[in-house]
Structure 1
Amino acid sequence: MNLRRLGAIVLKELRQLRRDRLTFAMIVGIPVMQLVLFGYAINMDVRGLHAAVLDQANTAQSREVVAEIGASQVLDFRYHLANPQELDRLLREGRISAALVIPSDFEARLQRRDRPPLQLVVDGSDQVIQASARQLATYPLPGWPHLTGIQLVNFYNPERLAPVNTVPGLIGVILTMTMVLFTAIALVRERERGNMEMLITTPLSPWELTLGKVLPFVGIGLVQVTVVLLVGRLLFEVPVRGSLWALYAAALLFILASLTLGVFISTLARSQFQAMQMAFFTFLPQILLSGFMFPFAGMPKAAQWIAEILPLTHFLRLTRGIMLRSAGLADLWLELAVLGAFTLAMLGFAVARVHKRLD
C-alpha cells in the first residue's frame, strides 16, 4: 500500500467535502440538533397540562383544593365550567387534556370518606397524559392530608391499551418518513438523469410542473393510510370512532403538506444523497417534538413554538381527535388551518425555486 497515494486521496475527499457546504453543515448540524432536542426540549416530567375545573360544590373548601392542585403546576386550569356538557366538548375538541370535577356533596364525602371526594377526568387518547394523571391522582396535598382516593376517569381509552394511542400517531410518522423522502429523492433523481431539463423546455408553468410531480404520490400516501388502518383494526382492534371520510380528508391535507416539503427540499439539494440527508434532518424534530414520543406539555415554551410549525404536530391532534374522540373537522378547524397554511407556504417556496431555475 502506497501511503502517499492514499494520503492524496484522503486529502482530495476532505477538500471536496469542504467545498460541499450543505453536506458539511449536515455533519455538524445533525448531532447539534440531537443534543439540543434530547438535552433541552425532551422532558418526561409533564407540567402545564391544559385543564378545566367543574366545581359543583363551589365552597371555600373546594376552591382551596383547586388552588392547592393548581400549585402543583401539573394542571393549568384554563377553564372554569358550569356543566358536564362543556367538559365533554372541550375534551372532544382537544382544548383540554384533563378536568378536575368536584361533586356537589364534596364536604360530606370528606367527612364520611365512603366515596372519592374528587374526580380527575383525563383524555385517554394520549398515553403520556394517562401516566401523568395516575401520578397526580396520588399527589399529596400539604394542606389536605386526609384527602385521599381521587377517582381517575379515563375517557376514550378506559382499558389503557397502548396500540390505541400509538397507531393513530404512527399514521403520521409513516407518512412523514415516506412522503418527504420519496418526493425529494425522486425529483432530484429526475434532475440527475436530465429529465428535468427536458420538462423545463416544455410550455409547462412552474405551478404545473410542481403539482404534476406531487400529485402521483398522493395516491401512494392514501394507500399507506388504508394499510395502517386495516392492520391496526385487525391486529390491535384500534377503533375509528369518528368519520372515516373526515380522517381521509385530514390525511389528504397532511400528505400534501409532506409532499410540498419534499418538493422544496428537492429544489435545495444537488444530489440524491443530499436530498436524503435533508429529509432525515426534518424527521427528527417532527418525531421528537410533535408529542408522538414525548409529552408535549413537558417541553419548554420555545420548543413548543417550534413544534407548532411542524405539520406532524397538528396531524397527530387530528388523527387522535377523529379516531378516538369522535371529533369532527369543525371541532379541529385550527389544526386544518395550520396544515393548509404550511402546505401553501411550502408550495410557494418550491414554485419560487423552480421559477428561479427556469430563469
Structure 2
Amino acid sequence: MSFYRLLSLIRKEVLQILRDPNTLFIAVMIPIVELFLLGYAATNDVRNVPLAVWDQDRGPAARALLDAFQAADYFRLAYVVDSGQALQDLLDAGRARAGLIIPPDYTDQIRTQGRAQVAFVLDGSDPTVAAKSLSAAELIGQAHATRIQSQRWQRMRGVVPQPPLEVRTQVWYNPDLKDAYFMVPGLIGVILSALSSVLTATAVVRERERGTIEQLIVTPIRPWELVVGKLIPYVFIAVVDTLEVLFIGSVWFKVPIRSPLMDILLLSGLFLISGLGVGLLASTLASTQQEAILMVWMTILPSIFLSGFFFPIEAMPKALQWLSYLFPLRYYLRIIRAQMLKGAPLSLLRGDIAALALFALVIMGAAAVRFRKRLD
C-alpha cells in the first residue's frame, strides 16, 4: 500500500469534481431543495377542504351544525348553494371537494325527536383527501351528536350523563403529528442512496469515455487503490449532504435528534457503502454515463417506493413486503427514524444494523470483484 499513490488519486478526483462546478452545485443543493419540498408539500394532513353547503333548513340547529364543521379546521365553508344541481356542478368542476346537505325539517327533528339525518357527499377522485375528509366528517358528526344528546339530557333530567368509558390518548415521539418528523430522516436515506450511486457510476464511466482509465491501469496503482481513491471524495460529499439535512431539519423544521450525532453518522456511513457499491457495479456494466444513470435509477425507484419512505410497508401486498427485504434503504430508514425521533439504543437495532452490514459487504464486494475483472 502506498499512501502517496492513494492521496494522489484522491487529489485527482477532487480536481475533476471542482472542474465541474455545476455537478458539485447540484449535489449540494439537491438535498436542500428536496428537504423544503418534502417538508412542506409532502404531507398527509388534510386541512381547509372546500365545502359546499345546501342548507334547506336555515334554523338554529342547522347553524350550530355548520359552526361545528367550521370550527374543526378540516373544512372551509366555500360555497352556499340552493339546489342539488348546483352542488353537483361544484363537485364536478373540482371547486368543492365535499358537500353537506341539510334537510328542510332538520331543526324540527332535532327539537322533537332529538335526532336527524344529513347527507355528506365526497369527491372520491382523490382517495387520500376523500378518506381523511370522511373520517373528519364522521368525527365532527359524532362529537356534535354527543353534544346535542348531552344538552337534551340536561334539559330533561338536570344532569349531564358521563360516558362509561374514557380513552386518554398519548402520542409519543411526535406529539403534534408533524409530517416533517417522518420525512426529514427518510430524506437522508434517499439522498445518500441516490447521489452516492449516481455520482460514483458517472465518475468511473466518464474516465472510461475519456480514455484516462487506461492510463491509470498501466501505472503501479493497484485496483483497490483506484476504487478507494475514486470513492473517498464522494463519501465526503455524502457526509456534507447528511450534515446539511440534519442541520436544516433540526433548526428549520424542529425535527429532534435524540441520539448522538456520531452514531447517526457511523450508521449512515455503513449504509453509504451500499450506495457506493451500486454505483461502482453499474459503472462496470454501462458503456456511457447515460446508461449508468439509467441502471442506477432502476434500483433507486423501487427502493424508494418499497422501503417505507412514502408508504407504510405493512399496507403493501405480501409479495411486495417480501421484496422490500432486498433493499438496504428499508433497514436504514428504520434505523435513522428510531435514532432521530426515539433515541433508540443501538442494541435494539442490531438486526437492522447487521442487515446493512451484510448488504454493504455483498454489494461492495461484488462491485470490487467486477471492477477488477473489468480492469484486467
TM-score, normalised to structure 1's length? 0.57
- The answer to whether residue 350 in structure 2 is matched with residue 333 in structure 1 is yes
Q: What is the Cα deviation at residue 302 of structure 1?
A: 2.1
AA of the residue aligned to 1:357: R
- The answer to whether residue 367 in structure 2 is matched with residue 355 in structure 1 is no
Decide which of 258, 262, 268 is 1:241's aligned counterpart. Answer: 258
1:184-243, CA deviations, whole angstroms, 9 ceiling, x for partnerless residues? 111100111111111222233332222222222111111001100111112111110111
Q: What is the Cα deviation at residue 152 of structure 1?
A: 3.4
Is the 1:214–1:260 Cα contact (8 Å) retained in structure 2? no
Is the 2:274–2:328 Cα contact (8 Å) retained in structure 1? yes
1:122-179, CA deviations, whole angstroms, 9 ceiling, x for partnerless residues? xxxxxxxxx9xx99xx9xxxxxxx9965443321111111111111111111122211
- The answer to whether residue 280 in structure 2 is matched with residue 263 in structure 1 is yes
Counterpart-to-counterpart distance in 2, 1:328 and 1:190? 43
Q: Superposed, which structure 2 residues align to 1:156-171 within 5 Å? A: 156-171=173-188
Q: What is the Cα deviation at residue 344 of structure 1?
A: 1.2
Counterpart-to-counterpart distance in 1, 2:372 and 2:236? 26
Q: What SS class does the counterpart of residue 344 from structure 2 fall into?
A: coil
Counterpart-to-counterpart distance in 2, 1:233 and 1:167? 9
Is the 1:246–1:328 Cα contact (8 Å) retained in structure 2? no
Which segments of 5 or more consecutive residues in structure 1 lack a partner in the other structure? 1-43, 45-130, 139-145
Aligned to 1:214: 231
- Which one has the largest radius of gyration? 2
Aligned pair in 2 of structure 1 residues 255, 147: CA closer, same or farther (>3 Å)? Answer: farther
Counterpart-to-counterpart distance in 2, 1:343 and 1:147? 55
AA of the residue aligned to 2:237: I
Q: What SS class does the counterpart of residue 304 from structure 1 fall into?
A: helix
Q: Superposed, which structure 2 residues align to 1:58-137 within 5 Å? A: none
- The answer to whether residue 317 in structure 2 is matched with residue 300 in structure 1 is yes
Counterpart-to-counterpart distance in 2, 1:299 and 1:273? 32
TM-score, normalised to structure 2's length? 0.55
Counterpart-to-counterpart distance in 1, 2:171 and 2:194? 32
Aligned pair in 2 of structure 1 residues 295, 198: CA closer, same or farther (>3 Å)? Answer: same
Q: How many residues align?
A: 219
Aligned to 2:202: 185
- The answer to whether residue 214 in structure 2 is matched with residue 194 in structure 1 is no
AA of the residue aligned to 1:178: L
Counterpart-to-counterpart distance in 1, 2:369 and 2:164? 62
Q: What SS class does the counterpart of residue 170 from structure 2 fall into?
A: strand
Is the 2:273–2:364 Cα contact (8 Å) retained in structure 1? no
- The answer to whether residue 220 in structure 2 is matched with residue 203 in structure 1 is yes
1:300-325, CA deviations, whole angstroms, 9 ceiling, x for partnerless residues? 22212221121111111111010011
AA of the residue aligned to 2:233: P
Aligned pair in 2 of structure 1 residues 160, 278: CA closer, same or farther (>3 Å)? Answer: same
Which segments of 5 or more consecutive residues in structure 2 lack a partner in the other structure? 1-43, 45-131, 140-162
Q: What is the Cα deviation at residue 343 of structure 1?
A: 1.2
Aligned to 1:175: 192
Aligned to 1:318: 335
Greater mean deviation of Cα atoms: 147-156 or 329-338: 147-156
Counterpart-to-counterpart distance in 1, 2:193 and 2:201? 12
Counterpart-to-counterpart distance in 2, 1:333 and 1:209? 32
Q: What SS class does the counterpart of residue 157 from structure 1 fall into?
A: coil
Q: Superposed, which structure 2 residues align to 1:27-46 within 5 Å? A: none
Is the 1:253–1:340 Cα contact (8 Å) retained in structure 2? yes
Q: What SS class does the counterpart of residue 276 from structure 2 fall into?
A: helix
Aligned pair in 2 of structure 1 residues 268, 149: CA closer, same or farther (>3 Å)? Answer: farther
Counterpart-to-counterpart distance in 2, 1:205 and 1:151? 65
Decide which of 293, 301, 320 is 1:276's aligned counterpart. Answer: 293
Counterpart-to-counterpart distance in 2, 1:187 and 1:295? 36
Counterpart-to-counterpart distance in 1, 2:215 and 2:314? 50
Counterpart-to-counterpart distance in 2, 1:269 and 1:300? 33
Aligned to 1:290: 307
Counterpart-to-counterpart distance in 2, 1:205 and 1:149? 70
Q: What SS class does the counterpart of residue 175 from structure 2 fall into?
A: coil
Counterpart-to-counterpart distance in 2, 1:236 and 1:348? 38
Is the 1:243–1:328 Cα contact (8 Å) retained in structure 2? no
Aligned to 2:110: none
Q: What is the Cα deviation at residue 181 of structure 1?
A: 0.6
